Amino acid sequence: MFVAQIIVGVLLSGAILLQVTGSGFGRVWGGLSQASSRRGIEGLVFNATFVLSFLFILISAIQLVV
């Protein structure tokens, strides 16, 4: 179980780091006014982040009980 938690944690970290929106700080300060939608690989990474975070929490809870 510990190895599975490490693997899911590394994959989750990678999925979070792959999510890049906008172009730098321009998006934060209102430089882009376009609405962005998640398509293709960006949507896949976004959904995989939710699945991996659920698995990580589930594995952690199981280890806590056992």
Per-residue pLDDT of the chain (66 residues; tens, 9 = 90+): 899 999 999 999 999 988 876 554 444 445 454 555 667 888 888 899 999 999 999 999 999 999
Residue 42 burial (CB count, 10 A)? 15
Distance (Å, rounded) from C-alpha 11 to C-alpha 18?
11
The parent domain of residue 7 ranges over 2-65
Q: What pLDDT sits at residue 30?
A: 52
Could you tell me which of 2, 16, 10 has the C-alpha nearest to residue 50?
16
Residue 24 DSSP code: G
Calculate the CA 54 to chain-centre distance: 11
Helix (H, G, I), strand (E, B) or coil at 39: coil
Q: What pLDDT sits at residue 55?
A: 97
Structural domain count, the chain? 1
Q: What pLDDT sits at residue 35?
A: 52
